[in-house]
Amino acid sequence: MFATAAGWQMVALLTLSNVFMTFAWYGHLKELASKPWYVAALISWGIALFEYLLQVPANRIGYDGGFTLAQLKITQEVITLGVFVPFSMLFMNQPFKTDFIWAGLCLMGAVYFIFRG
């Protein structure tokens, strides 16, 4: 299913969407820590706009391409972890934890059950 043009477009758009989402949700913890929460919220909403401009078409492309709602959600979660781990390590200077591996393995189980025939 991912080998289709719709599948690749969906994954690419969801990956870019997740980059914006991750910065909107967590980037303010580093870059705007000294600012009031409402400043961080307004800036995060501005960043989240770009997330939605990518996420909405990604889900429409995937759904029109034959992905079920559950498959779209699990794909999103796998991509989220794939974006979040490098973000937390490289941008937020968090150490690598083996829990990231265990979480990824649990998501692979979810992928198996949602995508099995």
Tens-digit pLDDT profile for residues 23-54: 999 999 999 999 999 999 999 999 999 999 99
Mean pLDDT for all residues in the chain: 95
The contacts of residue 89 (CB under 8 Å, 6+ apart) are: 95, 96
Q: Are 84 and 100 in contact (CB under 8 A)?
A: no
Handedness of CA 93, 96, 13, 21 (dihedral sign): negative
**CA gap 27, 24 in Å, rounded:** 6
The residue-averaged pLDDT of 3-17 equals: 95
Q: Is the pLDDT of residue 15 over 80?
A: yes
User: Which is nearest to 48 in space by CA: 79, 28, 75, 25?
Assistant: 25
Q: What is the CA radius of gyration of the chain?
A: 16
- In the predicted structure, residue 110 carries a pLDDT above the cut 80: yes
The single-letter DSSP state of residue 35 is S
Instruction: Give me the sign of the Cα torsion angle 43, 33, 96, 105.
Output: negative
